[in-house]
Amino acid sequence: MLDLGIIVTVFALAFVAELPDKSAVAALVLGTRFPWPWVFSGIAAAFLTHVVIAVSAGQLLHLLPGRLLEALIAALFLLGAWLIWREGAHQDDVEAEGQAEVAGKGADGAGFFKVASLGYGVIFVAEWGDLTQILTANLAAKYHDPLSVGVGVTLGLWTVALLAILGGKTLLRVLPITWITRVAAVVMVVLGVLSAISAVRG
């Protein structure tokens, strides 16, 4: 059964982790070139694929002994905090990376399948080893509720993609990305410390 509390928590973490990511910038660029439903279809499918992979990895982590698992979760949260702080501080570099993901992959004049495939391919490649993939595996291991974590992360990633496609540049002018990422980093540090305390106490 779905746990609404976990879904909301995971949604918020995935949302703020993905905002400064190059995948969001790639979605923004694709959205300016092609019909948004076509772009979103491919991107949504790619995110869903990665969520399934990451949640499955998180379930494997849960097979570790309790203290070791909590220590690993703490380390991954602290790593995530550092990565999201770094991405928010170097937003220009992130934008350049996101634009590079799309550059040279011309599909102008293409139909739905080609555009959706382009969106899927760009995001599928860009998300391997990404912060949100690490975060998703970590959350799946922490909560031991793969369905709720999967739903929350997927909705968070899809929301960021839609916002980027439909009005990303306007959103970034209203919400300063640096402060969003700093708040998210602090939250992850707190979660990491709590997990470390659990590991020590056993």
Per-residue pLDDT of the chain (202 residues; tens, 9 = 90+): 799 999 999 999 898 888 767 777 788 778 877 888 999 999 999 999 999 999 998 888 777 776 777 787 778 777 767 766 776 555 555 455 544 555 545 555 568 999 899 889 888 887 877 778 888 988 898 888 999 999 999 999 999 999 888 875 565 566 565 666 676 677 668 777 877 887 777 6
Query: Which residue has 């031991």 as its token pair?
Result: 144
Look at residue 193 and tell me if it is in a domain: no
Q: What is the DSSP letter of 96?
A: H
Predicted TM-score (pTM) of the model is: 0.72
pLDDT of res. 152: 96
Look at residue 188 and tell me if it is in a domain: no
Look at residue 130 and tell me if it is in a domain: yes
Q: How far is CA 45 from CA 70, 91, 123, 168, 201, in A?
A: 31, 26, 9, 20, 41
In 3D space, the residue among 195, 163, 187 whose CA is nearest the CA of residue 31 turns out to be: 163
Look at residue 108 and tell me if it is in a domain: yes
Look at residue 73 and tell me if it is in a domain: no
Domain with 122 in it: 4-66+91-175
- Name 200's Cβ contacts closer than 8 Å, sequence gap at least 6: none
Look at residue 71 and tell me if it is in a domain: no
In 3D space, the residue among 83, 198, 200, 84 whose CA is nearest the CA of residue 141 turns out to be: 198
pLDDT of res. 74: 78
- The type of residue at 13 is L
Query: How big is the CA angle at 115 (ends 33 and 18), to the nearest 5 degrees?
Result: 75
Are the CB atoms for 48 and 140 separated by under 8 Å? no
Q: Rounded to whole angstroms, how far apart are CA atoms 118 and 43?
A: 9
Number of folded domains that form the chain: 1
Look at residue 82 and tell me if it is in a domain: no
Look at residue 83 and tell me if it is in a domain: no
